[in-house]
Structure 1
C-alpha cells in the first residue's frame, strides 16, 4: 500500500442520542469515494477514536470497510493508551479487513525515542498490517523526532510512512531529509491543509484531511493539481484556505466540523461524544459558515 494523495480522516456520524449512525457513515464514505479520494482513515482524531469502546471501534471499522468494498485502501486508526491496547486494536483492524494501521506514540507517559520505537515495532509484530506512524505533538506532547523517523525508515520496513500533524512546515522538511535518503518509499503526509502545497512541493506525498469531510472537492482538486504540476495550484490553495476557518468554529475543532458537515447535509446530525452535542453558538456559526458555501440552488431550497 502506498500512502499518497488525499485521504479523508473520517468523521464518525452519531445519532442525536449518541449512538453510531452506521447508515450515515456508509453514505459519507460512498460520497467521498465518488469524489476521487485516494483512501480513507477511520478512527483518527477527527473520528473521535478516544470516545469509543472496543466493540464500537470494531463496528465502525466493519461499516467503513464494507462501504469501501476494496475500491480504495482503509488506514485504520488503532491508537490506545498503552502498547498492549494499541496492539489489540491493530489485531481487530486486521481481522475485519483494514489495509494498514495508523499509530500514535504511547499516550500519557512521556518516554524516550527508544521506547517509542519499540512501541511501533510491537504494533507491527501484532499483525501483518503496514504501520503508519502518527505525529500529533499538539495533543500528545510527544513529538516523533527526525532521528526516530529515520530509525523507523532504516530499521523497520513494516513502518511505511508517517502522518505529521504539525504546525511548522520545517518539521515536514526535516522528516523528509531524515527518511528519504534511506527509504524512497517512506511516505510523509501532512495533517494540516494549509501546509499541503509547501509540504508536497518539498517532497511530501499528500494529506490526511479532516476538512475533506466538508469540502472534499476542493481538497481533491488541490492535491491533484500539485501532483500533476498544474499552474492553478495557487488558486486551488486559496479556495481551500477560504474554508480553513471551519477549524475555528469550536475548540476542540471536531464539534464545529461536525456542525458544518451537518449544515451542508453531509451528515444528518452534529452530535459528538464529549458532551450532549455542539452548543447553540457552534451550530449557529456552522450554519453561517455553510450558508455561503452551498450551491445557489441549495441555498434557495433552504430558504
Structure 2
C-alpha cells in the first residue's frame, strides 16, 4: 500500500434513526473512486469512529471494502481508548480485508514516549497490514514526538507512514527530516486541506481530506497540480479556501460537514451521531447555496 495523493476521510452516512446507511456508504465509496481518488479512509475522525461499536465498525469496513472492490486501497481507522481495544479493532479490520490501518495514540491517558512506542508495536503484532500513525494533538492532547516517528520509521518496516493533522507546517517538515533519511519511502500526509500545497512543497506525499467528501474533483485536482508543479495551483487553492469555512458550521465540525454534504446531495441524510446544535440544516443549506460545484451522489 502506497500512501500518496488524495485520500478522502469518508463520512459515515446514517439514516434518520441513526442506523448506518450502508447503501449510501457504498454509493459514496463508488462515486469517490470514479473521481480519481488514490485511496479511502473509513472510520477516521471524519467518519465519527468514536460513535460506532465494534460490530458496526466491522460492517462499515466490509461495506467500503466490497464497494471499493480492489480499485483503490482502503486504510481503516482502528483507534480505541486502550491498546487492547485498538489491537482488537486492528485484527477485526484485517479480517474485513482492508489494505492498512490508521492508528492514533491510546486515547484519554497521556503517556511517555516508550509507552507510545509499545502501543504502536502491539498494534503491529495484531495485524499483518501496513500501519499508518495518526497524529491529531488538538483532539488527543498527546502529540506524537518527532523522535518517536524517527524510531518507528527506522525500526519497524510495517509502519509505512504518518498522517499529521497539525496546524504547524514546521511539524511536518520536522517529521520529514526525522524519517526520510532512515526510510526514503516513508509517507507523510497532511490532514488539513489548507496546508496541502505547503506540505507537499516541503516533501509530503498528499492529504487525507474530509472536504473531499464534498468536493472530490477539486481536491484531486489540487493535489495533482501541486505534484505536477502546475500553474493552476493558486487558483485551485483559492477555491479550496473558499469552502474551508464549512468546518465552522458546527462544533465539533463533523455534523456541519455532514449537513453540508447532504445539502449538496453528496449523502442522503444530514444526520450525525454527534450533536450539531439547532439551526444546522438551515445554515448548511445557506452554505451550500453559496458554494456551487459539487455533484450529487444520491439519486
Q: Report if TM-score (shorter chain) is over 0.5.
A: yes
Structure 1 residues 262 and 150: CA distance shift in structure 2, 3 A: same
Instruction: State the alpha-carbon separation in 1 of the partners of residues 294 and 112 from structure 2.
Output: 54
Distance 1:228 1:296, change over 3 A: closer
Residue number in structure 2 paired with 1:132: 132
Structure 2 CA distance for aligned equivalents of residues 284 and 220 of structure 1: 29
Partner deviation per Cα, 1:192-241 (whole Å, 9 max, x = no partner): 00000000000000000001011111100000001111111111111111
SS in 2 for 1:167: coil
Is the Cα–Cα contact under 8 Å of residues 6 and 208 in structure 2 kept in the other structure?
A: yes
Change (3 A) 1:59 1:296: closer
RMSD of aligned residue pairs (Cα, Å): 1.3
Query: Counterpart in 2 of 1:243?
Result: 243
The superposition leaves residues 178-198 of structure 1 with CA deviations (integer Å, 9 ceiling, x where unpaired) of 111111011000000000000
**What are the equivalent positions in structure 2 for 1:64-75 lying under 5 Å apart?**
64-75=64-75
Mapping for residues 98-117 of structure 1, pairs under 5 Å? 98-117=98-117
Q: Distance in 1 between matches of 2:250 and 2:10?
A: 18
How far is the alpha carbon of 1:12 from its aligned partner?
Answer: 0.2
Q: Which residue of 1 aligns with 2:281?
A: 283
Of 285, 290, 293, the residue aligned with 2:291 is 293
Q: Is 1:22 the counterpart of 2:22 in the alignment?
A: yes
Structure 2 unmatched runs, 5+: none
SS of 1:41 mapped into structure 2: coil
State whether residues 266 and 295 of structure 2, in contact with CA within 8 Å, keep that contact through their aligned partners in structure 1: no
Map Cα deviations across residues 41-66 of structure 1 (whole Å, 9 max, x no partner): 00000000001000000000000000
Runs of 4+ more than 6 Å apart: none
Tell me the equivalent position of 1:301: none
Match for residue 194 of structure 2? 194
Aligned length: 296
Within a 5 Å distance, the mapping from 1:227-266 to structure 2 comes to 227-266=227-266
TM-score by length of 1: 0.96
Deviation at 1:280, TM superposition (A): 4.1
The residue number in structure 2 matching 1:76 is 76
Question: C-alpha displacement at 1:141, in angstroms?
Answer: 0.3
Change beyond 3 A, Cα 1:182–1:279: same
Greater mean alpha carbon deviation, residues 285-294 or residues 135-144? 285-294
- TM-score, normalization: structure 2? 0.97
SS of 1:45's equivalent?
coil
How far apart, in 2, do the equivalents of 1:28 and 1:197 lie? 26
Residue range with higher mean Cα deviation, 284-293 or 189-198: 284-293
Residue in structure 2 matched with residue 90 of structure 1 by the alignment? 90
Shift of 1:295: 5.0
What is the rounded CA distance, in whole Å, between the counterparts of 2:193 and 2:90 in structure 1? Answer: 27
2-side partners of 1:42 and 1:270: how far apart? 18
Q: CA deviation at 1:297?
A: 11
Contact 2:154 2:183 in 1 (8 A): yes
Question: d(CA) in 2 for partners of 1:288 and 1:218?
Answer: 21
- Higher mean C-alpha displacement, 88-97 vs 266-275: 266-275
